[in-house]
């Protein structure tokens, strides 16, 4: 029996990982987290992640939960885990949560940010090469915003999903899409209840084609209506995408040997 449940908030540079999910023969975030925790908690375990970020995708607010019977106080655990994680993976927060908390199933919504470096010079000049997609051509930001607004709502997003997604349904709700500029960067923030395999990157690729003036703004509606991936744009590169946060309802108090308040949302 595992009477205790640990919630971990993690940040990582995705360039050195083959995504979140543990896979044989490749380095993954889940694999590194589990390898770090096993000698500390001293039992077999699984780190259940909230989002299966793809290879090369970054995170600042990935969430995972780990059931355990370890009785080490939470502050001691926090120091040990943070110290032993590899340099490209950081523990942002660790706390006890209720045993029925599930990193994926308990989530209300999550925010993915895609960063476009829209300038003639290379992003390496500003130390942004590994975290932004360099777009050489001029983008019409108003067209980008208008097209992005058409993604908001509850739709069948099969046309924006890469083949091979194991999900039972391709219907998702996008609560907001915000386009903003920070210097040379154009940032596109997607908040939704969940996303299909490569959905965000495929939406970004489509938005870029519209912002370049190659496609009409109504192309978004056509892709959604036809549910045909061939009508959408190319898949934007993984390194421009980051999982910023995952939001949960107010959590019930944790039970177990190191009980601490666990109220509030994760963001």
CB 196 within 8 A of CB 170: yes
Sequence ranges of the domains in the chain:
4-106, 109-244
Tell me whether the CATH fold assigned to 4-106 matches the one assigned to 109-244.
yes
pLDDT for the residue numbered 187: 97
DSSP 157: -
> How far is residue 53's CA from residue 86's CA, in Å, rounded to a whole number?
18
pLDDT for the residue numbered 267: 34
Residue 72 token pair: 């080490």
pLDDT for the residue numbered 41: 97
Class of domain 4-106: alpha beta
Question: Does 54 participate in catalysis according to the annotation?
Answer: yes
User: Candidates 3.30.70.660, 3.40.50.150, 1.25.40.10, 2.40.128.20; correct CATH number of 109-244?
Assistant: 3.30.70.660
Per-residue pLDDT of the chain (267 residues; tens, 9 = 90+): 558 999 999 999 999 999 999 999 999 999 999 999 999 999 999 999 999 999 999 999 999 999 999 999 999 999 999 999 999 999 999 999 999 999 999 999 999 999 999 888 887 776 678 999 999 888 999 999 999 999 999 999 999 998 765 668 999 999 999 999 998 899 999 999 999 999 999 999 999 999 999 999 999 999 999 999 999 999 999 999 999 999 999 765 554 443 333 333 443
CB 161 within 8 A of CB 54: no
pLDDT for the residue numbered 261: 33
Q: Which of 54, 140, 193, 221 is catalytic?
A: 54
pLDDT for the residue numbered 263: 33
């Amino acid at each position: 029996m595992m009477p205790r449940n640990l919630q971990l908030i993690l940040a990582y540079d995705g360039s050195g990982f083959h995504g979140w999910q543990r896979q044989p023969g490749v380095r993954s975030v889940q694999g590194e987290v589990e390898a770090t925790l096993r000698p500390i908690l001293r039992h077999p375990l699984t780190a259940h992640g909230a989002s299966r970020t793809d290879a090369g995708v970054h995170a600042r607010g990935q969430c995972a939960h780990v059931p355990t019977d370890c009785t080490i106080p939470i502050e001691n655990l926090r120091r040990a885990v943070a110290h032993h994680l590899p340099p490209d993976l950081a523990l942002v927060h660790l706390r006890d949560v209720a045993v029925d908390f599930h990193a994926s199933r308990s989530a209300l919504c999550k925010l993915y940010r895609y960063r476009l470096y829209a300038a003639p010079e290379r992003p390496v000049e500003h130390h942004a090469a590994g975290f932004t997609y360099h777009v050489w051509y001029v983008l019409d930001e108003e067209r980008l915003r208008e097209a992005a607004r058409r993604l908001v709502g509850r739709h069948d997003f099969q046309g924006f999903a890469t083949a091979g997604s194991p999900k039972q349904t391709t219907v998702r709700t996008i609560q907001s899409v915000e386009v903003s500029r920070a210097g040379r960067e154009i940032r596109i923030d997607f908040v939704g209840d969940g996303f299909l395999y490569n959905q965000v990157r495929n939406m970004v690729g489509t938005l870029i084609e519209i912002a370049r003036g190659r496609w009409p703004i109504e192309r978004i509606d056509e892709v959604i209506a036809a549910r045909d991936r061939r009508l959408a744009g190319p898949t934007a590169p993984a390194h421009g995408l980051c999982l910023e946060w995952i939001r949960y309802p107010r959590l019930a108090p944790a039970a177990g040997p190191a009980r601490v308040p666990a109220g509030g949302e994760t963001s």
